[in-house]
Homo-oligomer: A and B are copies of this chain.
């Protein structure tokens, strides 16, 4: 009935490109990288692929400084946040009981019914903070 994803050359290539990266990348970057490798794929196809994978939970997304969407293959399907290195772009998934508890507590204090939350932490990773 709905969305039975098909295996196409384009999607294979896009997925492979994502697999090579540990960092978050934009649709534009994926497209440019593939072009450089000689794979002429429509930019719209890249946008559509990343969007649908994100919607089906296979990709994580964060917003870059200039407001663009950056994607990365999502390791676990559990709830988590990200710790991103501002130097090399490397990103780790994090999940902290303590952090979640703090957030719950804040919501409770203000009598909010918690819906969702986003936490993004930026810094320099072990290798980059000389």
Residues of A participating in the B interface, judged by any CB pair closer than 8 Å = 63, 67, 69, 83, 85-86, 92, 94, 96, 98-99, 102-103, 105-107, 110-126, 129
Contacts and interface: CB of A to CB of B under 8 A. Distances in A.
Given A63-B67, A96-B102, A122 B129 contact: no
27 contacts: A63-B67, A67-B69, A83-B112, A85-B112, A94-B106, A96-B105, A96-B106, A98-B98, A98-B102, A98-B105, A99-B99, A99-B103, A102-B102, A107-B123, A110-B126, A111-B125, A111-B129, A113-B123, A114-B121, A114-B123, A115-B122, A115-B124, A116-B121, A117-B121, A118-B118, A118-B120, A119-B119
B110 A92 contact: yes
One complex includes copies of this chain to the number of 2
Nearest to A107: B123
Contacts of A120: 117-118
Contacts of A94: 106, 110
